[in-house]
Every structure is written in structure tokens, then in C-alpha cells.
A and B are shown apart, each in its own frame.
Chain A
Amino acid sequence: MTRYFLRRLLALIPVAIGVATLTFAMIHLVPGDPIIAMLGETAAPSDIAEMRHRLGLDRPLGEQYLGFVGGLAKGDLGESISYRRSVASLIAERFPATLELTVAGILVGLLIAFPLGIISGTRPGGAGDIGAMGFAILGISIPHIYLGPLLMILFSLDLRWLPLTGRGGFSHLILPAVTLGTALAAIIARMLRQSLIVVRESDYMRTARGKGLSPMEAMVRHGLRNAMTPVVTLIGLQAGALLTGALITEVIFSWPGIGRLLISAISARDYPLVQGCVLTFALTYVVVNMATDLAYAMIDPRVRLD
């Protein structure tokens, strides 16, 4: 398993270079000038030229790219143009907030998805299944930008239980995590239902029920673990989508995470910061997928990582 992970870690290098190259190309291709965004249109041409020189933006694009990749090799993401601070320190400051929100979103998703998936998968076609899958369709259909304010109106304005925005204690985390986790819950619940329907027809499940276990007990004790492999794959894949969702959720809930940092960096055409944020998202996605592979081995003893 160690060799497997070393190999996967090494694979991160070409992924990082690929993402860095794509991000570098894309941000330089879109219209907009960071110097004009910074100094304004009425700035003297000499000031514009001086600032461009100071930031190294007057160098040929290829040279800028090599400088960026060279810095990356040394762990240096450069300095933010708009914040005038190192990109690494900005990301280190904001990433925990995004991680907290994303993890909470996944937990909420699992907390909602498992009961719904089990209810649906145990008795497909029953009232519970119809209700749970109805919720799933609703959960997938409602965008974060709409669900967030709806939850705010209910839990902050009407019931006055939870704070509206900002990052603080546990209570601040609930609404953004539910907003983020609902769509995930819906997707997992549907996948779990499908897996359980397949599993419930297996010989070992019939045996379990023959031994006197109720359908629900047989499902929870024996069926669930075997139905988990596709669900874990899905969670790994959805983690990336969740990070993207966090971008919107952070804006709605004024959550000071890396998503808001990226949005302001794009507006300011802050090239180093955009590159750093996108790279962080991409590497997180890869690491989450590595963790997913590890989870396979833990869930299913037949899986060997080598």
C-alpha cells in the first residue's frame, strides 16, 4: 500500500504542472489587465509601464510561465497583485474555512443520504421510497443560490435559531453546510438506493433474512457494507463538485474561504492568486480521490492497493 501511495503522490507532480499550465494560459487569455484594474484608466502611461515592469508582467509570456513553474517547484506561488502578500500565506489563511465548510457539507450529505437511501433501498416502491426519492429530486434541483436564502429565511428570520452569515461557532456552520450538503445527499441517496436494491437480492441477504433478521436489520448489518463501494466512489467524485459549490455558498453566507478569495482574484485579474487558488482546488481533488481509494480497501477486504 505504501508503494501505491508513493506512486500516487508522484503522479501529483504532472497533475500540478498540467493544472498550472492550463490556469496560466486561461487567465492570460481572458480580456482584462491587472495593471489597469489596479491603477485605473487615467493612470499615466509611465506609471502603468513601471508597475508592469515591477510585477514582471512586461516579460515575454513564456518567460513568465517558466518563472511561475520554477517558483512552483520551490513551493513559491508568488505574490498576490491585489493583496500585496504571498499567495501561499493567503491560501493558508483561507483554506481551513473552505475545508471546514466542505467537510461539514459532506457530513450533512451523509447524515441525510444514509437514512433516505436505506429506507428507499429496503422497500423500493413503498411510501418511504417515494418520499425519499422525491426529496432527492428536490435536493438535486434546487441550486445553492436559492436554497441558501430559503434556509436563511426559515431558520434565521422566522425561527431565529441560527445566525445568517459569517464564520463563527458551530451555529454559523449549520446553514452553509446544509446548503452545500443537500445536493450531495440527494445524489448519494439515489446511488445508495440502487446499490441496496441490487444487494438485497443476493444469496447472503436471503440467508440473513432466513436466520430471522428483519429486512431493515439484514440491510443495515450485512447489505450496507457491500453497497458502499459505488457510494464511496461517488463521494470522492462529488468532493470536487462540493469545492466548486463552496465557492457560491461562501459568497451567499459571507464565509471567508478560498472561494471568495478566488472570485475577488478573478475580478482583479490577480494572476498569481488565481493560479494558486485553482491549483489548491485541483490538488485537493486529487488528494480526496486518493483517500477514496484508501476507503475502498477498508470497506472491501477483496480490494488490494498495490
Chain B
Amino acid sequence: MGRGQGAAAAIAICAAFIFGCGRTPNHPAGYIQVDIETSPTSTDPRFATDAISSWVSELVFDSLVKVDRNGQFVGDLAGSIERPNDTTIIFRLKPGVRFSDGRELTSRDVKFTYDSILDPASMSLKRAGFAELKSIEAPDDSTIVMSTAHPFAPAMEMATQEIVPDGTPPPLYNEAPAPPGTGAFKMVRYARDDSAWLDRNPYRPVQADALLGIVFKIVPDPTVRALELAEGVCDVSENNIEAYVLPYLGAQPNVVVNESPGTRYQYLMLNFRNPQLRDVSVRRAIAYAIDRDAIANSFLRGTARVASGMLAPENWAYDGNVTKYSYDPAKARQLLDDAGYHAGADGMRDLTFIYKTTPEGARLAEVMQAMLRHVGIRVEIRSNEFATFYSDLQNGNFDLASSRWIGINDPYQYYLVFDSKMTPPRGINRGAYANAEMDALVEDGDRTIDPAKRRAIYARVQELAAQDLPYISLWWLQNVAVLNRDVTGFDPYPNGSLRSLATLKLIGPAGSEASQ
């Protein structure tokens, strides 16, 4: 073979590789691919507390109750719920429910699930969430009696724990596929950092044209998630696409961008350990100096609603009739002048705050920095990877920090973040906010079972939080789902739950293959 022929053969081999290999389908017909940014930390619902694990778990497991689109608790495995007194809840299971391995669900499974979490040897991350649970009993195969030591209004939140079969051992390692559940799907394969495969639970009735399964693919890079949607490799991606990419995706012929009200709450946290931030005038000046409308409309491309407090309008306890801080830099300057922080010749005051952020939040930090500079407040941004940022929040090593709460269902959250007893290391009142009236209100809210009385308590809590500003409320992020046009029936949940995936259908070529 001559030199020229050799070169031609090499080129032909390369071309055959490139064109011949082509793209292989990532999943079988009738399945959809959903891109998520990180792996679930555990596939066993007794051990995982992160949002992504919860979203996958909700499709594989059921719980006694679940949260509906209005943030209310409704029966899931429980056919009926009674509250005979302030410390007891009785659940009666729906008949005929089966796990994906064919076993019928009984109250023993429910009791086992809770007992195994409460067992100190299990070292379950969820144990702390059941601190108020006094006992859980299964007097017969279909009844569960949950008791708390004293009246505890958010007790129903504890009934959202997903149920595993009696006798399920703790996972030997954190890459084990999920145990059988009673949910719409069963997990058939899990490769951490790669994908989780769900097939239909054969013991759950479904419509003929329902999805056969879901592949959760772990795609850490946001740009790549957007490209996968544009290419049609990914079928659904929710709340993990950058706002600036949405116009590009919306222009793609095969993609639909679905926006709906969401409850993910973004806030600016102020550290009360800093004496200057203990001055309410300074906190209010910061609130007036931030143009949240402008940020929501331009920086976030309209994918956020300006927030009045932690609870979104979708929550039953929401009260929007609170003190609000619309953008008013003149008022901010006046407040600072009145508080004795006068501007120098350069327009800046003797106020310098350290703003801690992750690299992902750095651009927002820069926007805030520019707005606060406008009223004479200096902000130094310190950006660290998440674990360091998280550690700084826990240790109170910040002046300002922006973070986000996801999946707030019950106003009990106010106790966790604003009660002075919950200051770290005991809890998550990271800014060390302390107000006796707030403490009394949130503790009363936890003990009051009557929903009307509770609503009144939390109306006052919301007003007090708006006046006192332990957090400056920024916005509730919209739920932004980007879907392939071949996918239909997506009905989003305000809290970002992916439970709606269970009822999706495929239309077009993929759908006709699926129904064959």
C-alpha cells in the first residue's frame, strides 16, 4: 500500500467511526429523560433529606399524607385522617395498596419505617425531624396512631415520611437502588453521578398511554442541560436552567417553557451579631436600597415574584398585608442619616459589610453591592464553594448572605429560623435574631391546633418579621419547567415537586412507539 493509499484508508476509518457511530439513544422508547444537577444522596427515603432525593423518592414511595398544590396535607396512603385530641392523629390506610415487589402494604410497614428512623443505631438524618413524635402504633393492619408529647400543630408534616416495606435493612452503601415502594415507579438501576432508572410499578394501575419509565440523568453543567433540551436528548428539566438561557430555549421548535408560580423563597440574611446590623434603621435602609423589581425583571428575566415574606401566596397561612419596602434610595439615605451614619465626601458611610456567597450567587451579590453602594454602604463580596459558604453561615461568619428555602409547607419554619432558641449550634437561626415577641408567637403557633387561630398568630409573625427584618425578603422564584414538545400533561406543583411526572404522556413518534 502506498503512502497516499494509507492516508486515505486512515481518513476513511476515522470517518466511519465518526459517522457510523452516530448517536445512540439514551433510553428506550416510552421512557423520558429528566436532567437533574446532582445525584440523590440516598435512594432510601429514611436517610435522605436533600431536595433531589425527595423528588425522586416521591415517584417511588408514598407517604401517609402528601402536600397538595395549595400546601395542604391530604391523604396519600391514608384513606382517612382523624385528630381525636391535640396530641393524637389516627390514619386508616387505603385497602389493596401493594409495593412494587407485590407485597401488600399494612400498618406494620408504616410503623417499621418510623421505628427504623427513630432507632439511634440507624443514624438517620431524618431523626431530628421526629423529635416531637412520642409514639407510633399499629393496633391493626390498617390503622396507625401517631402521638406527640404535647400539642404540636405541624405534626402532620411528620406524616409525609415515605414508607418502605417492613424489614428493609439500611442501605449498605449510598449507591444501592431504592427498596420497593408503593409509588408509581420502581427504581431498577442507580449509578451515582450518572443516572437513576425508574420503571412503572407493575402493581399500580396506569393508563395505556402512560410513560413506561423515567431516566434521571445527572448533568452538573447548566449549559449542557440547556443543550440537551435543545437537542431533544432531555425531555424535562425543572428549576435548573439559567434564566438567561430561557429565551434561547423558548425559540427552539421542539421545546416548551412552562412557567408557574413557585414557593422557593430567596432572602437576604442579616447577621445580628454585627452591632451595626442590630440597628433596625440600617436593616430597613438596606431593604429600601434594593430594587427587587428591577432584579426580578431584568436579572432574573421575570422568573420571580417580589416576596413580602417567607410564605408564598399559595400557602394557607400567607398574609400579604405586611410592611413592604419598595425601592426608595432617598428614604434609605434618610434612614441612615437619622441613625447617625452620615455620608463622607465620597458619598460613602462608615458601613462596610461582608457578603458571603457561592460562585453561583456571585453575580447577584454584585448587583446588591452596586445598589447598596448607591446609598453609601460598602459591601465586600467573599465567594467560596458551597461547603465553605455553608460552614460560614453555621458559624455566623458573615454580615450579609443570600440563600433560599425550598419546600416550605408549614409556617413552623418561622420557629426554626427566627426563634432565639434555634440559634446555632442548636438550630438554623443563623443570623442570631432574638426578639421575645417573635419567640412567644412562633412557639404559640407550634402549640395551637385550631387552623383559624394559627392563621391569626402567623399573620402577626409575618408582620413582625417584615418590621424587624431578620431576613430581607427578595422573591419567590417561579417554577420553570422546560419540556420537550412530545411530552404532555405536565401539571407543576408550586413547591417544585416532580410528582406530576407520574401522569405525563408521550405524543408523537416516541409516544406511538411506547404504546406498541
- Cross-chain contact of A41 among B23, B223, B388, B427 (Cβ < 8 A): B427
Chain B neighbourhood of A267, CB < 8 A:
385-387
User: B224 near A171 (CB under 8 angstroms)?
Assistant: no
Known: A266-B385, A267-B386. A45 touches B425 (CB 8 A): yes
Known: A41-B394, A260-B193. A251 touches B21 (CB 8 A): no
Is B141 an interface residue, CB under 8 A from the partner?
no
Chain A neighbourhood of B171, CB < 8 A:
84
Interface of B is mostly: loop
User: B224 near A252 (CB under 8 angstroms)?
Assistant: yes
Q: Across chains A and B, which 6 residue pairs bring their CB atoms closest together, nearest first?
A: A171-B21, A32-B387, A31-B391, A32-B391, A84-B173, A85-B173
- CB contacts under 8 Å to B, within A141-172, are 148-149, 152-153, 156-157, 160-166, 168-171
Quick one: closest A residue to B219, CB to CB? Answer: A254
Least CB distance, B233 to chain A, in whole angstroms: 6
Quick one: closest A residue to B20, CB to CB? Answer: A171
User: B427 near A42 (CB under 8 angstroms)?
Assistant: yes
Number of interface residues of A (CB under 8 A): 53
Least CB distance, B169 to chain A, in whole angstroms: 13
User: B220 near A251 (CB under 8 angstroms)?
Assistant: yes
- CB contacts under 8 Å to B, within A208-256, are 251-254, 256
- Cross-chain contact of B174 among A44, A84, A161, A169 (Cβ < 8 A): A84
- Cross-chain contact of B220 among A85, A161, A174, A254 (Cβ < 8 A): A254
> 20 interchain pairs (CB within 8 A)?
A31-B388, A32-B387, A32-B388, A36-B390, A39-B128, A40-B49, A47-B123, A82-B174, A84-B173, A84-B174, A153-B227, A165-B233, A170-B21, A171-B17, A171-B24, A174-B18, A251-B220, A256-B191, A267-B385, A267-B387
Is A83 an interface residue, CB under 8 A from the partner?
yes
Least CB distance, A46 to chain B, in whole angstroms: 8
- The distance in angstroms between the C-alpha atoms of A84 and B176, with both chains bound, is 11
User: A43 near B127 (CB under 8 angstroms)?
Assistant: yes
User: A160 near B388 (CB under 8 angstroms)?
Assistant: no
Chain B neighbourhood of A6, CB < 8 A:
none
Is B352 an interface residue, CB under 8 A from the partner?
no
User: A33 near B227 (CB under 8 angstroms)?
Assistant: no
User: A33 near B233 (CB under 8 angstroms)?
Assistant: no
Chain B neighbourhood of A85, CB < 8 A:
173-175
- The distance in angstroms between the C-alpha atoms of A149 and B125, with both chains bound, is 37
Chain A neighbourhood of B174, CB < 8 A:
82-85
Known: A32-B391, A269-B387. A161 touches B19 (CB 8 A): yes
Is B424 an interface residue, CB under 8 A from the partner?
yes
User: A43 near B125 (CB under 8 angstroms)?
Assistant: yes
Chain A neighbourhood of B228, CB < 8 A:
164-165
Is B508 an interface residue, CB under 8 A from the partner?
no
Chain B neighbourhood of A1, CB < 8 A:
none
User: A44 near B391 (CB under 8 angstroms)?
Assistant: no
Quick one: closest B residue to A257, CB to CB? Answer: B193
Q: Mark B31-60, 1 if CB is under 8 A from A, else 0.
A: 000000011010000000100000000000
Quick one: closest B residue to A149, CB to CB? Answer: B223
Is B416 an interface residue, CB under 8 A from the partner?
yes
User: A37 near B123 (CB under 8 angstroms)?
Assistant: no
Known: A38-B125, A44-B131, A254-B224. A171 touches B22 (CB 8 A): yes
Is B26 an interface residue, CB under 8 A from the partner?
yes
Is B221 an interface residue, CB under 8 A from the partner?
yes
User: B233 near A164 (CB under 8 angstroms)?
Assistant: yes
Chain A neighbourhood of B426, CB < 8 A:
45
- CB contacts under 8 Å to B, within A165-208, are 165-166, 168-171, 174
- Cross-chain contact of B172 among A30, A84, A256, A266 (Cβ < 8 A): A84
- The distance in angstroms between the C-alpha atoms of A266 and B173, with both chains bound, is 19
Q: Mark B96-130, 1 if CB is under 8 A from A, else 0.
A: 00000000000000000000000010010101110
Chain A neighbourhood of B129, CB < 8 A:
42
User: A256 near B193 (CB under 8 angstroms)?
Assistant: yes
User: A44 near B388 (CB under 8 angstroms)?
Assistant: no
Chain B neighbourhood of A161, CB < 8 A:
18-19, 22-23
Q: Mark A15-54, 1 if CB is under 8 A from B, else 0.
A: 0000000000000001111001111111111110011001
User: A41 near B428 (CB under 8 angstroms)?
Assistant: yes
Chain B neighbourhood of A82, CB < 8 A:
41, 174
- The distance in angstroms between the C-alpha atoms of A39 and B41, with both chains bound, is 11
- The distance in angstroms between the C-alpha atoms of A43 and B18, with both chains bound, is 52
Least CB distance, A171 to chain B, in whole angstroms: 3
